[in-house]
Amino acid sequence: MSQTQSSSADITSPAQTERKNVIFSGVQPTGNLHLGNYLGAIRNWVAQQNDFDCIYCVVDLHAITVPQDPQALRTSIREVTACLIASGIDPDQAVLFNQSSVPQHAELAWIFNCVARLGWLNRMTQFKEKAGKNRENATVGLYSYPTLMAADILAYKATHVPVGEDQKQHLELTRDIAAAFNSMYGADIFPLPEPQIQGVAARVMSLRDGSSKMSKSDPSDYTRINLTDSADEIAQKIKKAKTDPEPLPSEMAGLDDRPEARNLVGIYAALSGATNAEILSEFGGQGFGIFKPALVELAVSQIAPISEKMNRLLDDRAEIDRILKKGTEQARARAEPVLAEVKKIVGFLPE
């Protein structure tokens, strides 16, 4: 397996020369988006949409790799779309669409299933985590999840992919698939996309356990701040967040064995745009009785407007559907010629 050169790619230094930068990323419509999604990925999507060619996708095909209630899935696709717009994605600047309405994703994923090797997929830690002990009962879709992800990215020949830390291994596999396809067919068609993983918030942890990731699938809602939470809910969750009795240290080294404290400092830093060290120089020596209310104020000022805007958007479902339809048309127009090129290279007859 290839290793990416660095976990945080600089957009100004493209991996391959003479390719136009294209940014692609996706999010699953499987419930509320949370602070980890926002700080680890979405904020970084928003930051790039005015300067680069950006394509953002609600990945509903990925969602059904585990069982979903059809009505809840439909609702979630619209809610996540509204949440992305409320978080700052501008559908007039970036292409915003849902994956299942662009058939080229599934088509390219099949071709990549015939390129990727079992040994590569066997190494995927996220499959092992999600399948758990009952691996024989996991769907084939869950197993081949990363080949669909590679197809999402490469159907647009994307060069950069802003994601959280947990997607790094999938991005490495995408690079391996791109390189293997290019070499199998002697074609220089696919770029090797660079992950863009933002340092301070690349892995936001649970509010109740600093050793596990903040996640939509955690049964306790107190482990995460949802982008749909009200000011009161945010305040309650931060108030109840696990901490320790010590005051905050003035230096980073003082957080070494304090994962929960480190996580809250990291969240504060990411929300305020400062570094962890700067936050510690401000709060060093203070207890959580001072720090938590400051964090509540900061989190509420940034998250509450998102949930208000999202609720307003959801009042007009037809408008959300129109936005997705426009994005779908734009995405199809981009993916169709790439698929035509791939099919020709593979040896299929022209349509």
In the complex, residue closest to ligand TYM by CB: 40
Minimal distance, residue 12 CB to ligand TYM, in Å? 21
Provide the 3-class DSSP secondary structure of residue 126.
helix
> Residue 173 or 300: which CB sits closer to ligand TYM?
173
Nearer to ligand TYM, 64 or 284 (CB): 64
In the complex, the smallest distance separating the C-beta of residue 35 from ligand TYM, rounded to whole angstroms, is 8
- Rounded Cα distance between 22 and 174, Å, is 15
Output 52 or 250, the one with its CB closest to ligand TYM. 52
Task: Please report, for the chain, how many H helices and E strands are present, in that order.
Answer: 15, 5
- The residues assigned a catalytic role are 130, 213, 216
Min CB(265)–ligand TYM separation in Å: 15
Q: Please name the residue that has the structure tokens 């899935």.
A: 73
User: Given the rule CB under 6 A, which residues bind ligand TYM?
Assistant: 24-28, 36-37, 40-41, 59, 62, 149, 152-153, 161, 163-164, 166-167, 202-204, 213-214
Nearest distance in Å: CB 186, ligand TYM? 26
Instruction: Give the whole-angstrom CA distance, residue 193 versus residue 2.
Output: 12
Considering the complex, what minimum distance in angstroms separates the CB of residue 198 from ligand TYM? 9
Give 250 or 330: the residue with its C-beta nearer to ligand TYM. 330
Sorted by sequence, the CB contacts under 8 Å of residue 316 that are 6+ apart come out as none
Cα–Cα dist 286/10, whole Å: 36
Smallest CA-to-CA distance from 335 within 130, 102, 139 is with 102
Write the Ramachandran bin of 172: left for phi over 0, alpha for psi from -120 to 50, otherwise beta. Answer: alpha
Q: What are the two backbone dihedrals, phi and then psi, of residue 116, each rounded to the nearest 5 degrees?
A: -65, 150
- State which residue, 28 or 307, has the beta carbon closest to ligand TYM: 28
Residue 68 token pair: 């979903």
